[in-house]
Amino acid sequence: MSITENTWRNRGACNGLDPAVFFPDSEENAGEAKAICSECAVRLSCLEHALAVRERDGVWGGLTEKERRRIIRQRRRTA
Ligand code: SF4
């Protein structure tokens, strides 16, 4: 993990919260995590990290895995 990555992680609104909130059992149950992410100062860094390393599970940067896959597909089309 790079120093930069470490820095944004430490500043995340999820820091110290129950990680289980960010790994809901379905897309429909991702609301609580999304609400926390929406207030997070490092949301974009978090999202770009998840897109870059293809994080498979959980809510990152306010988006679920399905939503992140959609962004990856869109970016591929416009690249
Ligand atoms: S965007 Fe969400 S998952 Fe990412 S650091 Fe912020 S609160 Fe945590």
Amino acid at 4: T
Instruction: Look at ligand 1, atom 5, and give the residue with the nearest C-alpha.
Output: 12
Print the domain residue range for 39.
3-78
Ligand 1 close to Cβ of residue 62 (< 6 A): yes
Q: Probe ligand 1: pick from 37, 45, 47, 48, max atoms within 8 Å of CB? A: 37
Q: Distance between CA 52 and CA 15 in Å, rounded? A: 21
Query: Mean pLDDT over residues 61-73, rounded?
Result: 97
Q: How many domains does the chain have?
A: 1
pLDDT for 35-49, tens place per residue?
A: 999 999 999 999 999
pLDDT for 6-33, tens place per residue?
A: 689 999 999 999 999 999 999 999 999 9
Instruction: Look at ligand 1, atom 2, and give the residue with the nearest C-alpha.
Output: 37
| Token pair of 64 as six digits | 């679920």
Residue 10's pLDDT is: 92
pLDDT band, residue 3 (cuts 50/70/90): low
CA distances from 1 to 44, 56, 66 (A): 17, 18, 25
Beta-bridged to residue 60, according to DSSP, are 63
Query: Mean pLDDT over residues 40-60, rounded?
Result: 97
